[in-house]
Structure 1
């Protein structure tokens, strides 16, 4: 069984006192009740860029353009006792978008200060990679979950060997 292709986008804006990121309270499916990133599965025949533009619009009513996405890297999630949950996730950041976040049937979006993420309400793995992506680190994370499918058994980071597609030269 191969890992599901998934994509996440972390929308960023200047808040009242610091930079903010849009996250959402998951209302359905795996992870219900947790605060998660905006995104989802890549449909057959769909590119990851098309998928994230679609997912952000479906989940939040915000419109993002492909050229405004900043590739951040990838996270591979491995669930040894539940391989059907394995995911290969392409992560983007985006600072240019239009519209206001609106609650959907799947997500209740909320802006959080980047330096005050609600880790206690998020998947336990998020502490391993999300602050790094938000602070500008790039690369690939591999997160292996414990048998409880919640806590992290191991987390490894591999920096990119080359500039990521879409990333400005000199980064």
Structure 2
């Protein structure tokens, strides 16, 4: 690593990812709307609740990757997808930049099933387990729940520490 004014300069890797949230109306007149989250069972983010997604493979569009990852991680087929957000994460401890394309769907088939990577569970939208999720989710997920499009940037010092962020609602992505 080169040194600039006495500080190490890291070479960051950068990659595009998708993240999909399935949502459904309340099941009874008194119940809340629901969102499908998955508990990550292995790899990056293990032990955290999140949406379903992953890397975009060569030759895939962002939407194709979102559909594929949702199916692979939950068994759910998205009949339609709405692009709702775009997030950039700078992970300084592992020198990585992640560009995340966030989608939601209300139209899908198949019941969610456990896979090698994720354990799916429906949550009432007013009972989301933010304390067991990535810290940044509390900043932008409420915008998604209100159907507001957003752009955000988060810098993590390590997996549990946000050192800087910005989030803003946008009229269109």
TM-score (normalised: structure 2): 0.86
- Of residues 50, 66, 71, the one that matches 1:36 is 50
Aligned residues: 159
- CA root-mean-square deviation: 1.4
Which of the two has greater helix per residue? 1
Question: Which residue pairs with 1:124 in the alignment?
Answer: 135
Question: Which residue pairs with 2:63 in the alignment?
Answer: 49
Q: Which structure has the bigger radius of gyration? A: 2
* 2:91 aligned with 1:79: yes
For the Cα contact (< 8 Å) 1:128–1:155, is it kept in 2?
no
Q: Which runs of 5+ in 2 are unaligned?
A: 1-11
Point out 4+ residue stretches in structure 1 off by more than 6 angstroms: none
For the Cα contact (< 8 Å) 2:19–2:52, is it kept in 1?
yes
**How far did 1:2 drift?**
4.3
For the Cα contact (< 8 Å) 1:26–1:35, is it kept in 2?
yes
Distance 2:33 2:149 in 1: 19
Q: Structure 2 matches for 1:3-152, cutoff 5 A?
A: 3-16=14-27, 17-65=31-79, 68-84=80-96, 86-146=97-157, 148-152=158-162
Q: Which runs of 5+ in 1 are unaligned?
A: 165-171
Question: Which residue pairs with 1:167 in the alignment?
Answer: none
